[in-house]
Structure 1
Amino acid sequence: MTTPATYGIAEARARLHELTVVDVRTPGEYASGHVPGALNIPLDQVRRALPELRHAAGRGDLLVVCASGARSQSACTLLAEHGIATATLVGGTHAWSAGGHALHRPAACDTRAGWSMERQVRFTAATLVLLGLLLGVLVHPACLLLSAGVAAGLVFSAVTDTCGMAALLSRLPHNRPRPADLDAALAALRRR
């Protein structure tokens, strides 16, 4: 299996008008900000979109995007297994934003949460660590295991470039925007 092609931020931005950009993040992540013009096809829906993605890839370059590049790599691998040539954006939307480029945040797709998922994860992790420390001092030393567990989870998250806490937090009611309009995304791919 070959490694999918990659686009750096500058190259992707320069060619954005000629690329079909597919964002494979969750609807909540997509709503919090995405590369302008990106269509939201969550990673768990990519198989359903194979015919339309094949059609779009036949008409031009298909760029797959996620937050950091891990999920887009997975999507590119899956698409390559089905004979669909794709590329991934190095560093994902985090790198796009860090490069000073605006993320599109449509009002109709906004989540009800006022904080980004990254900020929610930092707040929750810090709160759990502090709670574990306080309970460990005031109630019972075994409560320190809560802080240790969160620390271990953060290390695992960094090593694997995944975030279980974000996955859990994204299921909370205030983080659930409207579901991805997969039918609209598939129709847009057919028109390309």
Structure 2
Amino acid sequence: MRLRPAFAAAAAVAVLVPGTASASPVHVATAHGTFAAYAPGAHAVTYRPDLVPPGARAHVFSLSGARTGTMTTLVVTGLRPGRAYGAHAHAQPCCATGDAAGPHFQHVPDPVKPSVDPAYANPRNEIWLDFTTDRLGTGFALSQVDWTFGSRRARSVVVHETHTHTAPGHAGTAGARLACLDVSF
């Protein structure tokens, strides 16, 4: 399990950074943190220590290129074993409450808020990183979308209570916001 994220990252680099002078620009974002209770300046916050214990860790790696879109990986350790979680890129950084991270980042924003229309709240228009932890509390997720960030960028990844729902009226919802990691996409 530990090598899978490294292999995914190496494969993405090989695809997104060809050895030619005509290669399109590539943007790399990485973030990691150890979850703790909120304190000013915190970059990895747990809001539900029963489901994301203090000391649990998260790592995000993202590559964006005009020819290939954006690939994002999430690796978590120290969470509750054998449990399904949702996770998404959010519009704002982490703060004292999970709601402060704002809505999911959408490449094409839904004009209706909150966004629960599957035409907008879907894994092609948002970065969805749902995972299920193994017996040790480790989880891994991969998102691949065909777009890159422009002047608007996601600012965090939020871990949610359940896998993401897809039905109309509930699309994009995944329960309570359990934890947040700042990411400079």
More strand by share: 2
More helix by share: 1
Which one has a bigger Cα radius of gyration? 1
Q: Same fold (TM over 0.5)?
A: no
TM-score range, shorter chain: under 0.3
